Structure 1
Amino acid sequence: MTSLPLQSAASRPLMPVLAALSLAHLLNDLVQSMIPALYPLFKENYQLDFVQIGLITLAFQVTSSLLQPLLGFLTDRRPWAYAMVAGMCATLAGLLMLSFADSYGVVLFAAGLIGLGSAVFHPEATRMARHAAAGRQGLAQGVFQVGGHMGYSIGPLLAAAVVMPRGQESLSWFSGVVLVAMLVMGWLGARYTALRRDQKASRDHVEEVARHGLPRSRIVLAMAVLIVLLISKNGYTAAFTSYYTFYLITRFGVEIQLSQVMLFIYLVVGAVGVIVGGMIGDRIGRDRVIWLSILGSLPFALMLPHADLFWTGVLSIAVSFIMSSAFSAILIYAIDLVPHRIGLVGGLFYGLAFGLGGVAAAAIGLLADQIGIIQVFKICAWLPALGLLAFLLPKSRQQGR
């Protein structure tokens, strides 16, 4: 069964649905982002090295990575609007288990449960955002993803303000966030079910089909290029989300709280970049946004390891703003290649984003134990150069009016 686009009578984006999806994304990713923000606490409590820190990231990101494409494939055939609520139950269990973990093994298992909740959330949420877009795919994905970026921005700040001073057990206080997310997701499930029922009863609905006319070989090549570009983006992003605080502490001797505030600034700027990039992509084409967002961050990334504390903050803001628009453009470009497989593509690319980030975090941790975190940032600065491969992508049709 193929997915059908859900549009309002006036063919405008369904903003209440998109706003609720953004809020659900914020709450989901807020919980996830607290895990990397608490790595200094876990490192002290369980006497961990950098490899073990990287394995925590690997646990919750690879769990999500392996399951998202499968769940997306299944929901393409049999959509389940309330799947997100079920997924948040796993997140709640993982959060409570992480709060009272008495060993490193329990921390890994709890992180895996939180990853499971993410695996359930993203494919179905991507489908809802696509159907609520009314043709404004960049705007819809930008609104949806800005919630995730805001969640990832707020999480480290809350971790610094609440959990770091009070201890790991205070993580359980955030179970209320998960319960609110479940209520929002329940409303979305009911609204989406009603929209699908009304749309199926309409005489005007049509199936969404690919209009690019590309042969199968070009589609496969384009997908391969998009995956390599994700490796570039997520490899560099993993250095920041998992180790930026350690880099700042090691190089400049700043306090943990200041390093987490700087991580918050990096992440919140990314939230602005993702919605701006999505709207620009509607007008100039996804391929242009992809190569501008990845390759355009290269000079700033190369300068960052040689800057002082102030300019490190400035350059990290520039990198975050420019690079953050890449994922929404990559995701929409991939869905446009095979629009009848929204859940599969959404699950695959969100899964790859998490999985590649997890693998990169573990590899960066291993390398940091050998050569130091400062040298690692100098090496990772070259990853955006892979953005040159974006020139191999077929030119996308301009979306603007």
Structure 2
Amino acid sequence: MASFAGTSRAASDSATKVALPVLLAISLVHMLNDSMQAVVPALYTILEDSLNLSLTQVGWIGFMLNMTSSVMQPVIGAYSDKRSRPSMLPIGMGLSLIGMCGIALSPGFWYLLLSVVFVGLGSAIFHPEGSRVVYFAAGGRRGFAQSVYQVGGNAGSSLAPLMTIFVFVPLGQIGAIWGTLFAALAIAVLLGVVPWYRRKLAEWDAERARNAGAGAGRAGSASQALSNHPRVKFAMGLLVLLVFARSWYHTSVGSFYQFYLKDDYGLTKQQAQIPVFLFLAAGVLGTYFGGVLADRFGMKKMIVFSILGASPIALALPHLPLAWVYPAITLLGFVILSGFSVAVVYAQFLMPKSVGMASGLTTGLAFGMGAIGGVALGNAADAYGLHSVMLACSFLPLSGLFAFLLPSDRKNR
């Protein structure tokens, strides 16, 4: 498939309503996929003790997972924009299954890194293709559809603290073998989605051929008009940087805040998982409502709100007494992830001819660059202390000020 020009029209012609069963199925797979990824940070405190890892090594584990699962996404997205293969979906999950076995059985740090690469590659294959399935299933409700899809992923990620409490603390590293069940179920669901996806791709190809034969270049939509705007490259670069900054902050809370709670508040491993779980679980709700509200109020406004609106809570969090940590971190998770799915839809708005690439840049490359933050945070924590690092990270959401420079997604409608 040479481009996605005209996809919006084809999608609305072939499905004016959301294909809800398909959307729920791909959201379920997204949850299972991100649950497997969540196994890695869920094991951090366990591996720190069992394999005698430093915080720098913990950062490198997160780096390898996120770099393979994220940086490869734009590459795979660009390839699949030209030649999509529905069979890539179950193949990617097969790689993740191999990785989960490896994590459970790894005897040392380097074996663990190799296993994490397999999980990351499986995720990198799934995300661009999964986003394309959502694009076809969305009908005219892009924000809603993308939010349902991302809710699945964020729900999977939020399981990390619960897996630590109920699986990895009692069972240790071998408990990761349960992740193979996630992969097996995901493959079974995808085998049901693939025939529908293949039909939609065939319909899209036929529509594109008719448009080309009629000389239709129709650039009437707001997104196509913006795609030729000289500011589009600037806007995409700025959007990636904003997601990058949010990813750094998300990493600081999702991966390292549990250590901060142990050191500064004296919590046990199990107790330290509760605030992290509240942060991630509230993010699931924020992801859903953010997508719904973006359909009504505009994507740019939700991006500004989600990042900049989180800054007062983020700045206050390191200084709060323990009793206030729980409500504050819950509200923080809701706000900062309310723009999670919106950023993906906004990128597709900017790049309507390259949906896979747009999705890969926002859910892939930006998060991969955020993985560098995990390594940097681990190094900084070993060198300067975790308390100082968490204080510095609390300023990252102020980057939301730059979101005011993004082009409006409303003025051309």
Q: TM-score, normalised by structure 1?
A: 0.95
1:2-401 paired onto structure 2 within 5 Å:
2-3=3-4, 4=7, 5-7=10-12, 11-198=16-203, 211-212=222-223, 213-214=225-226, 215-397=228-410
* One-letter identity of the residue aligned with 1:375: S
After TM superposition, the structure 1 stretch with the greater mean CA deviation from structure 2, 184-193 or 49-58, is 184-193
Q: CA separation in 1, counterparts of 2:144 and 2:194?
A: 21
Alignment-derived partner of residue 214 in structure 2? none
* One-letter identity of the residue aligned with 2:110: G
* 8 A contact 2:290–2:338 mirrored in 1: yes
Q: CA separation in 2, counterparts of 1:201 and 1:369?
A: 57
1:80-130 residue CA offsets vs partner (Å, 9 max, x unmatched): 112111111111111101111111100111111111111001001111111
Q: CA separation in 2, counterparts of 1:69 and 1:9?
A: 27
After TM superposition, the structure 1 stretch with the greater mean CA deviation from structure 2, 212-221 or 81-90, is 212-221
* 8 A contact 2:34–2:157 mirrored in 1: yes
Q: CA separation in 1, counterparts of 2:108 and 2:235?
A: 44
After TM superposition, the structure 1 stretch with the greater mean CA deviation from structure 2, 21-30 or 349-358, is 349-358
* 8 A contact 1:20–1:184 mirrored in 2: yes
Q: CA separation in 2, counterparts of 1:399 and 1:317?
A: 36
1:222-277 residue CA offsets vs partner (Å, 9 max, x unmatched): 01110121122111001011112111111111111121132222111100000100
What is the CA-CA distance between 1:60 and the residue it aligns to?
0.9
* 8 A contact 2:260–2:386 mirrored in 1: yes
* 8 A contact 1:54–1:361 mirrored in 2: yes
Q: CA separation in 2, counterparts of 1:23 and 1:160?
A: 23
What is the CA-CA distance between 1:163 and the residue it aligns to?
2.0
Match of 1:102, SS? coil
Match of 1:339, SS? coil
* 8 A contact 2:245–2:370 mirrored in 1: no
**Structure 1 gap ranges (5+):** none
* 8 A contact 2:147–2:342 mirrored in 1: no
Is the alpha carbon distance of 1:211 and 1:161 closer, same or farther for their aligned partners in structure 2, counting shifts above 3 Å?
same
Is the alpha carbon distance of 1:305 and 1:399 closer, same or farther for their aligned partners in structure 2, counting shifts above 3 Å?
farther
* One-letter identity of the residue aligned with 1:227: V
What is the CA-CA distance between 1:9 and the residue it aligns to?
5.8
1:185-228 residue CA offsets vs partner (Å, 9 max, x unmatched): 11111111123335556799878855343444300110111012
Q: CA separation in 2, counterparts of 1:119 and 1:22?
A: 16
**Identity, % of aligned pairs?**
35
* 8 A contact 2:97–2:179 mirrored in 1: no
Match of 2:391, SS? helix
Is the alpha carbon distance of 1:352 and 1:191 closer, same or farther for their aligned partners in structure 2, counting shifts above 3 Å?
same
**Structure 2 gap ranges (5+):** 212-216
What is the CA-CA distance between 1:158 and the residue it aligns to?
2.1
TM superposition outliers: structure 1 runs of 4+ over 4 Å: 7-10, 198-210
Q: CA separation in 1, counterparts of 2:150 and 2:387?
A: 30
* One-letter identity of the residue aligned with 2:48: K
* 8 A contact 1:34–1:156 mirrored in 2: no
Q: TM-score, normalised by structure 2?
A: 0.92
Q: CA separation in 2, counterparts of 1:187 and 1:201?
A: 23
* 8 A contact 1:29–1:152 mirrored in 2: yes
* 8 A contact 1:142–1:276 mirrored in 2: yes
What is the CA-CA distance between 1:318 and the residue it aligns to?
1.3
* 8 A contact 1:285–1:399 mirrored in 2: no
